[in-house]
Structure formats: C-alpha cells, structure tokens
Amino acid sequence: MVNFDIDVLADKVGGRFHLVVLLQKRVRELMSGIPPLIEDAEGLAFEEIACREILDGQLWLATDEEAEKLRAEREKERLKVSATEEDIDKVLPFKLFGTEEEGK
C-alpha cells in the first residue's frame, strides 16, 4: 500500500475527524460492492482507493446544506426519468400492451 500524507488528505476534507469519517464510510461502500470512482483500481486496497478518490477530488464530505441540495437534485433527476404507463400512453399514438379483451 502506498503511504499517503495524512495532512494533505485531512486538508482536502476539512480536518482529521472528517477524514476518518469519510474513509470509514467509503471503505464500507467499496466493501459492499459499490464501484470505485477512480480508474485502475484493480488490485488496490479499499483504503487506498478511498484515499486516491479524495486526492482526485472525486470524494468529499458534504455539509448538511450541500447534502440536502444534492439529494434534491437527484430526486428531481429520478422523477424526470421515471415514467408511468399513463405518461407513456399520453405521448404514444398507439398502445404497446393491451389485454386480450381490448383486441376483441
């Protein structure tokens, strides 16, 4: 494992406490199967992947306000891409799926 400068990592995330919290959360995510945010992560320890993600600026600890804003943006995006059957019927000039009784 490569040695990382703890002070540099801590400065990027707002202090040592934030660094420990962020590393712990990210390592758990990686262990549960969430893919790395960096390329060439094959063969690296989870801790090393998390440190490299921080150094690359791809991983940070968001403030409560930032987290809420990100959640709202993701929810807005999720609602944009999820369509109900009625939504689809409104834009299609024909019906894709129907019951047997409708065809009679």
Total of domains in the chain: 2
* Residue 39 placed within a domain: yes
Q: 7 is in which domain, residue-wise?
A: 1-61
Answer whether residue 85 is part of any domain: yes
pLDDT of 90-102, one tens digit each?
A: 777 666 566 555 5
Q: Say yes or no: 9 and 36 in one domain.
A: yes
User: What does the pLDDT look like over 39-86, one tens digit per residue?
Assistant: 999 999 999 999 999 999 998 888 889 889 989 998 888 877 766 777
Residue with tokens 């040592």: 16
101 is a domain residue? no
Residues 56 and 19 in one domain: yes
The alpha carbon torsion through 12, 16, 22, 27 (nearest 10 deg) reads: 110
DSSP assignment of the chain: -----HHHHHHHHTSHHHHHHHHHHHHHHHHTTPPPSSSS-TT--HHHHHHHHHHTTS-----HHHHHHHHHHHHHHHHHH---HHHHHHH-SS-SS--HHHH-
Q: Are residues 56 and 66 in the same domain?
A: no
Same-domain check for residues 86 and 66: yes
What are the pLDDT digits (tens) for 7-27? 999 999 999 999 999 999 999
